[in-house]
Structure 1
Amino acid sequence: MSLRAYEIAEARNRILNPFTEDKLDLLGEICHPSPGARHLDLACGKGELLNRWSSRYGVHGTGVDLSEVFVTAARERANELNVTDRVQFIHAEAATYAKENAEPSAHDIVSCIGATWIGNGLTGTLDLMRPLLRPGGLILVGEIFWNTTPPPEAATALGIDHHTCVSLAATAERIERSGFELLDMILANPDSWDRYTASQWWTISDWLRDNPDDPEVPAMRDFLRQCRTSHLRVRPAVPRLGRLHPPPSHTFAQPINQISPHQGTYPDMATASTHHGPAFRPESGWLTFAGMLGVVLGVFNAIEGLIALFRNDYFVTPAGRLLVFDYTTWGWIWLAIGILQIAAGAGIMAGQVWARAVGVILAALAMIGQFAFVPAYPVWSIISIALCVVIIYGLIAAPRNATG
């Protein structure tokens, strides 16, 4: 999925992973960086870790991220915390920056939390980080792991390689094979993972509601559907996000704490919440059909109204067979109903919620009006009534949050 999709999904989040505020504070308490320590945060997101540590511990540092939207948010947060003289945020690809721009052996802390894709996995990311760290420094790395043996379809549903995520023990082995020692870890719990993921659904839902004409709407609907389905489908086995501490082993004079996130199973119980706006709006063939039929029937009814206005003799029938006494009034009524049905039908096909209720009301009024024509034009009146019934059914039967 495009970077833009993630920028939309993360719009309301300050921490772009399943870590809570408390756990991020705990991470700081464990590492307790010294004032003036140099910190390089790769794939920093909105820079909450670096900004918060600079504000609380006096850290100086640089955050690097691929998203200009996230970098802008990080700079705004730095200004909010009055740490702009101690931190900077750079819009760049993290792996490229680490290889070509970052000063080697110059950082007390190098972190990459929940973004080991920058090095094509945990091992590659540690290899990127190692040359940048001073002897005795601290590496913080975030990684996901399976808390239980996942079902075969889990990796596919999450869109990851089957070998990317392993168990916590196997993750520690990967860290050790890379020349680091695992000293400490902080794990996100299942509830925080659920809250982080579900909050993205809500954010995307509101964005879809507020930007109906944006060209990215179809892709974002698919992205929302994929995110929700994959999370719920493999939830019993999906990994949890956490943090581990792996320090470089024999290559440095002092061992260092490092942290990497991991993932594990979710609880077997969940809660759901509702909100004022629809999240994903499925497309409904019934709504499209009812909208088109409403437009067609509206055209016919408008024509009937015009005929009643300009050709009164057209509706002349044997006495007592037509319940119409004022053709001019009758004509204006049908013309108005027809125009409103055309507008409502177009609104239904455009996905406007109000148009469904208006469409039902107009179809019901048209049915009542056609009863007056049954004695004079039984075939056409019965056909019109039947079409109105179909329109009403299509508008009511479709899911409440569906779109045509």
Structure 2
Amino acid sequence: MGANIDGPRPLRPDEFRDAMALAEHCFGYESGGLEARMPHCFDESRPDRHVIIKRDDEIVSHVVCVPTELRAGDVCVPCYGIAGVATDPDHRGNGYMTQLLEFCLRRAEEDGVPIVELEGDRVGYGRFGWENAGREYRFRITRRSFDAPEPVVNDGTDLVYPVRPGNADLESIERVHEAERYRITRDQDQYERLLGQRGLETLVYDGDRPAYLCHRGAEPTSVLEFGGSERGVATLLDRVLQDDEIMLYTHPHHPLVSLFVEVSTDWTLLSHRKLNVLDLPTVLEAYEPLLEDRWTTAVDGIGTSTTGGSVTLAIAADDRNPSSRETPVTIRFEDAGVHVERTDRKPDLVLDRRTMTHFLFGSPDACYEVKQTHPFLGTVLPLEYYFWQTETI
């Protein structure tokens, strides 16, 4: 007699604890550990974000799909983040993970969400369309390297103190964080959840140029998020560093990168996370302000008028994008700006889904020969996004 399979389907509220028990078992967490460490993902009040498969009335596979928004200045792009991909070891090899991920991708398309993000194995998730995207600096800072520049001076008028979630400090942190160019959208609840996660300490620099810094653990201590003035961040680094070394994570366009280069002993630049572009026209329409800003900055730098022109892009037909649904998108550019529009023109450039993600969001030299053929694209790409390490999904 065959097994009774139920799903993939959304989780019911009464199944939340069983789903978490499976995820905790697969990831090696104690009971309640995932909710304490990643409260923005594993939230008992939002069972609708979880998707499961049951076999003979037992949850054997699970994933959570977290709605979020990518921000890059004036750019705002709806996104789903995938987390908690877990299948009971005794039931692996039955295609349950494939079914759950395809369910989530269909949900994103139905909800009009153009891009889906996750962190994980490039080879394993690549067959579903995910590809490495974005970049992240990791700076190793030691007491010896930090003492090299001019020392931090605290004249007694500036205070450094830890944040307790739920107090007024969150408002000042929110003001500082909202000034970051590359981030994801947060509401008040998300600030409280993120800064209240287990093992995370947030320090505030309260002076005329405020700052904050979130760190966790030791060997080394990890600085997972920060913001504010150079003086404030340097003071907080000095406090956190003590006699140890720290690892600090940030995106490559952060205005304090030059400070970290100065006070670090070494650093690496790595691919950030993985994206799956489901709707190319919607993504490029959303990123139009960034494309225009980069193009007009480049034109101003040249100091002469440009000819202008256009380029039409499309994702090659695949299971997620059959030829009957293929929608090319044209980017028109001239001295005055950039305009993105859907079109029925024959594309100048057609790439498979993974290559298109690499082309748009990968390193500056991604698809170098293509960018040489289309210099405008070489000028405005790559597109940027960033999840702070506190926001790991």
The bucket for the TM-score relative to the shorter chain is under 0.3
Q: Which structure: greater helix fraction?
A: 1
TM-score (norm 1): 0.23
Which protein, 1 or 2, shows the higher relative CO under an 8 Å CA cutoff with sep ≥ 6?
A: 2
* Structure showing greater Rg: 1
